[in-house]
Amino acid sequence: MKNKSLAKKNRDYAIQRVEDNNASWIDECMKLFRRWLLPLRGRFQSEDFRVYAMAYLDKPTDLRVFGAVMRRARKEGWIKKAGPPQSVDSENCNMAYASVWRKARVK
């Protein structure tokens, strides 16, 4: 339990650092995410949006910034978890497991 708590603290710290260093990029990305999310039906992973976003935005300084985007979207109530994590089908992700999301309310 203690190691899990430390791991969560480390994760949260890393995400906060990425947010702090990419604040304006995240603001632009959130606008794009909202437009992408509005017509969406079904479940998705952040990798689905990342592929879309890279066609419209400059490359971020750190790809972990998409974790910060999903975290902010969840806090805003735009998305909710949609089941257990699943492997990401992307050559960049090496079959890592990631959250599966669904649209909630987008205001």
Of 106 and 26, the structure prediction assigns the larger pLDDT to: 26
Vertex 25: Cα angle to 28 and 37 (nearest 5): 40
Flag whether pLDDT at 5 surpasses 90.
no
Please write down the long-range contacts of 71-77, taking CB distance under 8 Å and 24 or more positions apart.
71/15, 72/19, 72/26, 72/30, 73/30, 73/33, 73/37, 74/101, 76/107, 77/104, 77/105, 77/107
| Cβ atoms of 43 and 101 closer than 8 Å | yes
Within a 10 A sphere around the Cβ of 100, how many other Cβ atoms?
A: 15
The pLDDT confidence band at residue 90, using thresholds 50, 70 and 90, is low
Output the pTM of the full model. Answer: 0.81
pLDDT tens per residue, range 50-63:
999 999 999 998 88
pLDDT at 52: 96
Flag whether pLDDT at 1 surpasses 60.
no
Q: Which residue has the tokens 């990342």?
A: 50
The pLDDT confidence band at residue 91, using thresholds 50, 70 and 90, is low
Flag whether pLDDT at 29 surpasses 90.
yes
